[in-house]
Copies of this chain bind each other. A is one copy, B any other.
Amino acid sequence: MESESGDKYAADLSSIREAQMRISSYIHRTPILTAETLNSISGRKLYFKCECFQKGGAFKFRGACNAVFSLDDSQAAKGVVTHSSGNHAAALALAAQLRGIPAYIVIPRNAPNCKVENVIRYGGQIIWSEANMQSREEVATKVLQDTDAVLIHPYNDRRVISGQGSISLELLEQAPNLDTIVVPISGGGLISGVALAAKSINPSIRVFAAEPKGADDAAQSKEAGKIIKLSQTNTIADGLRASLGDLTWPVVRDLVDDIITVEDKEIVEAMRLCYEILKIAVEPSGAIGLAAILSNNFKQDPISKDCRHIGIIISGGNVDLSVLWDSLNK
């Protein structure tokens, strides 16, 4: 598949199929859940692809695993490095552990505790940075110089995008009649892989991005026709605060049909529905696809009336529930 400007995208169906073969013995093939109650509320058939059940609690393990197992032995031996707010970090640590190589993880000081714990659980070596992208990149550069390890970017990486695309291959096997897929968007690695695979298999399928209003750089970028970066973000969805990269932007520009932005209160309501109806633990970023489908922004979109069988990617389930246990232990 070529971009509108004639260039190839960072990944394609072939690289995504290769990724699926490479990672299939390491990942969980996650189930699809459905619920009549949510079909009834939304007026559509919804198919929830539960990547919250993926190893490490999020889809990120697919891309990290593909990247780590793509390295040749001499590259791999020096280890891998990344900077991440959490899920990619834990995923990379786990993939590195499975390959038996070191993982150096730069984590901003404001990352949720449960995500930091996952990195520690999988044997990652944590290096702290300040809570901004500049500090994250500076610290990561320093680690790279010190270790000669390989940087695995959380999303702006062909191997990572290809790994995330394996979700579409599974999803379209499990629910072949989908006409629409809704995907959370942050740096764009997930939606790039999902859109490239899904539209190669079925060019008429629609791919919508779901984005928090308080971090709507992708929506602004689509509007402007170029990558827009925000100086600050304000959303409960801690996994959706990154900006598009040069490898993900062309895919988002050309293959993502529309971006649905939602308020944080819509995200929290969707989390509640995921817990109470689907019985799954989701993080705010993971619930945003359902929030988008239930939002007025979607219902008022003229295309939405043709969306009858909708795949929703529940991207992750790493959420800090200490308030819940505190209340139960009283």
Contact = CB atoms under 8 A, between A and B. Distances in A.
Interface of A: 28, 31, 33-34, 36-37, 50, 52-53, 55, 57, 114, 121, 236, 265, 268, 271-272, 275-276, 278-282, 317, 321, 323-325, 327-329
Contact of A114 (B114, B276, B323, B329): B276
Contact of A52 (B37, B52, B279): B279
A279 B280 contact: yes
Given A33-B53, A276-B114, A281-B275, A324 B321 contact: yes
Contacts of A281: 275-276, 279-281
Contacts of A324: 275, 321, 323-324
A52 B277 CA distance: 10
Contact of A55 (B31, B36, B50, B114): B36
Nearest to A286: B279
Nearest to A114: B276
8 contacts: A114-B276, A268-B325, A275-B321, A279-B280, A279-B317, A281-B281, A321-B324, A323-B327
B52 A121 contact: no
Given A28-B34, A114-B276, A272-B325, 15 more contacts: A36-B55, A50-B279, A53-B278, A53-B279, A57-B279, A236-B328, A271-B328, A275-B321, A276-B321, A279-B281, A279-B282, A279-B317, A280-B280, A323-B323, A323-B327
A236 B330 CA distance: 11
Nearest to A282: B279
Nearest to A32: B31
Most buried by B among A31, A36, A50, A281: A281
Contacts of A28: 34
A57 B325 CA distance: 21
Nearest to A50: B279
Given A280-B280, A321-B276, A121 B37 contact: yes
Contacts of A53: 33, 278-279
Q: Give 8 closest A-B pairs by Cβ, nearest first.
A: A279-B317, A31-B31, A52-B279, A323-B327, A279-B281, A275-B281, A324-B324, A268-B328
A321 B57 contact: no
A271 B327 CA distance: 13
Nearest to A36: B55
A40 B328 CA distance: 26
A46 to B, nearest CB: 14
